[in-house]
Structure 1
Amino acid sequence: MRVTEPYTIFPRTLSSGKTVYYYQFRDDKGHRSSAKSTGCTTISSAKRFCQKLYNEGAFKKDSSLSFSVYTQDFFSEHSRYYKWKVANKERISRETMLAYDKFLRNQLIPFFSDYKITAIKRSDVKEWVIWANDKWSPKTVNSAQTVLNLIFKQAIDEEIIENNPCYNLSFRTIQKKHRELLTIEEVRDLYNNGKWWYDNKLIFLLDIITGMRISEVVALQSEDIHDNYIDVKHSYSRQFGLGSTKTNECRFVPIPTELAKTLRLRRGFLFINHEGQNIGKPLNINSFYTNLTENYTYCGIDYKSRGLTVHTNRDFYNTYLESENVPEPKIRAVIGHKDSSMTNLYTYWKPDMFSEVYSAQEKLYRIITE
C-alpha cells in the first residue's frame, strides 16, 4: 500500500475464520485512526469502499471537515451514531431519526453548512439561535438545538472536537397554550350522537376508556386482546408500518370485559382502512382525527379555542382516573409514561393489581355507553 495514500487497508481473520478487510486513515499530522471494518472480503472491494469514503470527505478528520460533510447521513440507519445506539442497546425509533434528520436539513444545514466542524464556536451557535428565532417558533428552535447538541456530542466521542459549543446553552421559553379537557357529558354526547365513519366510534371509545395513544390503538391485533386487558406492544405509522411503542416498552392496559368481548370478535388488525389505496391495512390515523374534529363541530364543541388536540383523550382519561382516586403510579403505568415507577410490571402483571383502575373504568364505560 502506498504511503502517499490517506488510508491503509489490511486483512483480519475473524474468530469464525472469515477474512475481512479493515482500514485506517491518516490525518494531516500523519496520525492513524483506530481500525474499522470495511465489511468487504476482497481487497478490490475494500479499496472501492475506502475510496468512496474518501471522495465523500469521511477521512477528513482535520480542520477542513465541514459541518455538511460530517452530518451527511448522520441520522440514517447506516450511520455511526445509529450503530452506536444499537450497540449500546439504546433504542431510537425510525420516526425519531426521521424527525432529527428534518431538523438537521431544515434548521441546521442552511446556516452551518460551510462551517468547519472544528471551528464552530459558542458565539456561532448563538448567532444561529438569533437567525433561527426570526424564522421558526421557539419550540422548533429548541428541538433543532437539541439535535445540534447530539451532533457535537458525537463529534466529541469521535475525537473530532474537544468541546461542545452547545453545552449548557439556554433554551427559549415556550408559552404554554391554553388547553381544556372534555367533560364527561361531552364525551357521552360525542360517542352517542356523533357522525362516525366505519370503526371510528369504537376507536373513540377505546381511546377514551384506556388512554392509549392512537398509534397504539391502530396497531392492535386480535392476539393482543385478552378477557380483561390489552397487551400493548406496538405502534403503527403509515410511513414505517408496525414498530415499538413510543417509550419502546410493552405494557398491559386494563379494559372492561364487555368491550374486550366486542374486540375479540375481530381477526387480524382490529381497525383497518375501508376505502382508498390502503384498503385492508391498519387505519390511517389522519382519517380518525378528521372525523373526530368534524364531530367536535357537529356536537357544538369549539375545539380550536379550547385547544383540544390529539392528546385530549389521554388527558381526559388521566384526569378522570385522578378524580377517582387511583394512585398516581398506577395511572402512569396504564397510560404508558416512560418514567413510571411501575413500568417493570410487564413480567409479572396481574389484573387484581389494578382493581382501582378497573372500578373507575367500568364506571366510565357505563356512563358513556348507557
Structure 2
Amino acid sequence: MAEKRKRRFGRVRKLPSGRFQARYPGPDGVDHPAPYTFTSEREAERWLVLKEAEIQRGDWMSPDAGKVLFEVYAKSWIDDRVLKVRTEGLYRSLLKNHLVPTFGNYNVCDLKEADVRRWRKERLGVVGQSTVAKAYQLLKSIMSTAVEDELIRKNPCRIKGAGTPDTPERQMIPLAKVLEIMGKVPERYRALVLLGTFTSLRWGELAGLRRPNLDLDGGVVRVVSELAELDGGKLMEDTPKSRAGRRVVSIPQEIIPELRHHLDRFAEQEENGRVFVGPKGAWLRRSGFRRIWNKARADVGLPGLHFHDLRHVGNTLAAASGASLKELMARMGHASPRAALIYQHATQDRDKAIAEALGQALKVARGEGPKRRSGKGHPGRQVRGTNQGTGTQRARHQK
C-alpha cells in the first residue's frame, strides 16, 4: 500500500458528520479554518492550494478583519472626516434614518451585494428616489474605505446609477411671471428675487451675502460665504461647499438701479452689513420667508413654484444665450458638468434656427427658393420658395 503523501501547507480532517474541514497557518501567525466545510478531502485540498497561492501573491486578508459592526465603523468614518457642517448633518441623518436600521448590526465583512439590492428596493417604496440615491452614495463611500482599510475585498455597492439622484426637470416659467412675483412680494424682497433669477445664487448664498461682496460699480457679485440653517433652526455662516462655489458672477446692468435702491433702503448700512435681512433686522431665514413666497406664487397662479426655480430660470436663459458648458458651470458654482448639462436643452430653439437656416441653404442649392413677391406688397420682401408654384414662376427662377 502506497504511503500517503504528506501535505506541505495546511491540513484536512474528517468531521463526525462525514464532511471535511481545512485549516491553514495565516501570515498573522494564527491557525485559521476555512469559512465552510467540504464534501470531499480532494475539495478541501484544492481550497488549501488556492489559499496558499493567495498568501504568496500578497492578497491574503484576515477573515477576522471585517468583523466590526457597520454602525460603529460608519460613525467613525464620519468622525474622521473634515466635512462642512451641513454635509456632516446630512450624512448623520442618512446614516441614522436609512442605513443603520438595516445594516447597523451587520459586520462590515458580512454586508453583501444582495443585501444592498434588497435594502434599496425597500427604501424606494418608502422615501423618494433622491433620498435613496444619497443614502446609497454614502453607503458606497463608507464601504470603499473599508476596502482601502483591507476589511473587505470588494465593495458590495455595485448597482449602476443607484447613487445618481433622479431630479425631475424644473418648470421653466417666463420672465413675465418673475416680474409678476416681484410685484407680489414686499418691496424688501424684490432684489432677492432679482439676484436669485439673474445671478444663479442659491438661497444660502443670498442670505449670507454682505455689502463688500455686492460690487455694483463693477457689476459683479462675489460668492465667498453662505448661511447654513442647521437642524433645530440654528444658523451658521460658512464658506461654500466646494471650491467651484466660491465664484464671481456678473450682474446684468439692467437690474443694478433696483439693487442700489435696495442697498440704500433695506440692507444693513455698516461697511460689512448684510444685504438681505428680515423686517426686524434679523438673519433672513428660509422658514420665515416661506409664508411670503407661498402667497406670492399662489397669487400668480404657480402654487408649486420653488424659490430655487428662479435659479433655474436664470440658468436656462444663460444656456439659451449661447453660454458654453464651462461658462454655465462657473456661473452656477458647480465642479461637475452633470447639473450644467441639464440646461443644455435650452439651446434647442437656437439649434432649430440653425437647422432651419441649413434647410434654406439646401433649398437655394436645389433651386427651390427664396423668391421675391410679385405685384402688390412691400418691394424686395422675400418669401420662402416652394415647389408648389406655377410652372412660369419655376421657369423664371431657374433662368
Partner of 1:220: 209
Contact 2:185 2:293 (8 Å CA) reproduced: no
Residue from 233, 238, 252 that aligns with 2:248: 252
CA deviations 1:257-310 (Å, max 9, x no partner) are 4345335544311112334xxxx44210232333122101122x2332xxx223
Partner of 1:262: 261
CA deviations 1:169-202 (Å, max 9, x no partner) are 55289766463222121112221x3042x62222
Identical residues among aligned pairs (%): 21
Alpha-carbon distance between aligned partners in 1 of 2:86 and 2:139, rounded to the nearest angstrom: 18
Alpha-carbon distance between aligned partners in 1 of 2:164 and 2:225, rounded to the nearest angstrom: 34
Aligned ranges 1:61-210 → 2 under 5 Å:
62-75=65-78, 79-80=79-80, 82=81, 86=82, 92-171=83-162, 177=168, 179-191=170-182, 193-196=183-186, 199-210=188-199
Unaligned runs of 5+ in 2: 1-26, 31-63, 338-399
Displacement of 1:62 in angstroms is 3.7
TM-score scaled by length of structure 2: 0.59
TM-score scaled by length of structure 1: 0.63
Change (3 A) 1:287 1:126: same
Q: Secondary structure at the match of 1:71?
A: helix
Change (3 A) 1:322 1:155: closer
Letter paired with 1:116: N
Alpha-carbon distance between aligned partners in 2 of 1:214 and 1:230, rounded to the nearest angstrom: 14
Displacement of 1:327 in angstroms is 4.7
Alpha-carbon distance between aligned partners in 2 of 1:99 and 1:135, rounded to the nearest angstrom: 18
Displacement of 1:216 in angstroms is 0.6
Displacement of 1:69 in angstroms is 2.0
Change (3 A) 1:187 1:98: same
Letter paired with 2:329: R
Change (3 A) 1:330 1:145: closer
Partner of 1:330: 327
Letter paired with 1:205: L
Higher relative contact order (CA 8 A, sep 6+): 1
Displacement of 1:225 in angstroms is 1.9
Partner of 1:347: none
Change (3 A) 1:172 1:29: closer
Change (3 A) 1:172 1:221: closer
Residue-pair matches, total:
263
Displacement of 1:140 in angstroms is 2.0
CA deviations 1:12-62 (Å, max 9, x no partner) are xxxxxxxxxxxxxxxx9579xxxxxxxxxxxxxxxxxxxxxxxxxxxxx74
Partner of 2:58: none
Largest Rg, 1 or 2: 2
CA deviations 1:140-191 (Å, max 9, x no partner) are 2222111110110111222222211113555289766463222121112221
**The structure with more helix, counted as a fraction of residues:** 2
Unaligned runs of 5+ in 1: 1-27, 32-60, 87-91, 341-370
CA RMSD of aligned residues (A): 2.9
Change (3 A) 1:176 1:167: closer
